[in-house]
Structure 1
Amino acid sequence: MARFSYDRSVQFLRAEIVDDGFQSRRGEYRPHGPRCWAAKSEISDAEKFGAGSVVPNLQARFRLPWSNFAAGIAHTDRMACEGRVYAIVGIKEIGRRAALEFTTASVTP
């Protein structure tokens, strides 16, 4: 397995659930859990084009060492890194509990 430099500090964000008595909906995103170290790689324009993506936002992959906390992150959560917030669009396990890879798309400019 290739070595990755876990040199980026990331914070996961989870939306609070707001219940007004009639319905439950997602509220504001707040920090969830501790800050984690991750390896970040940008998704190239050629890779986006090859996949048929026409999304104009920044897309990146973050790889984190496997942990119970990281394994509990859902697609509905978000991730903040270096002043940018990313929506999680894909999660996959690398190896047998070796790492988790999060494919993301930025939601902030």
Structure 2
Amino acid sequence: MARISFDRRIQFLRAQMIDDGFQSRPGDYTPFGSRLWAAKSEISDGEKFSAGTIVPNLQSRFTVRWSRLSASIEHTDRIEAEGRVYAIVGIKEVGRRAAREFTTALVAP
């Protein structure tokens, strides 16, 4: 794995399921697991264009070291970093249990 600067802290968020007796639905997002060190990189407009997507919101990638916590993160979870909340739109394993990369889109406040 190339040298990565894990220079910021992130918090994973997971929706608590609400069961009202008729259905189960996601509720509010709350912290899930402990805060982790991560590397962040912005996805360029050129990269979005070459992938055939033009998304008006800010897209970023967060890379964290592989752990049981990072391996348990799903597409329905979110990431909180530097006061912003990001929806996870893609997950990729980097190396063999070296790191996990999360492609995200900024959630409107």
TM-score using structure 1 length: 0.97
**What SS does the corresponding residue of 1:100 show, helix, strand or coil?**
strand
Tell me how far 1:54 sits from its aligned partner: 1.9
Identical pairs, percent: 70
Distance 1:32 1:48 in 2: 29
Contact conserved, 1:84 with 1:108, CA < 8 A, in 2? Answer: no
- Show the counterpart of 2:21: 21
Distance 2:31 2:68 in 1: 17
Q: Does 1:41 align with 2:41?
A: yes
The unaligned stretches of length 5 or more in structure 1 are none
Letter in 2 for 1:39: A
Q: Which runs of 4+ in 1 moved over 2 A?
A: none
Tell me how far 1:108 sits from its aligned partner: 2.9
Deviations 1:62-82, CA, capped at 9 Å, x for gaps: 110000110000000000001
**What SS does the corresponding residue of 1:49 show, helix, strand or coil?**
helix
Distance 1:108 1:79 in 2: 13
Tell me how far 1:11 sits from its aligned partner: 0.4
**What SS does the corresponding residue of 2:46 show, helix, strand or coil?**
helix
Distance 2:23 2:16 in 1: 14
The unaligned stretches of length 5 or more in structure 2 are none
Tell me how far 1:2 sits from its aligned partner: 1.0
Distance 2:72 2:108 in 1: 24
For 1:47-62, list aligned pairs within 5 A: 47-62=47-62
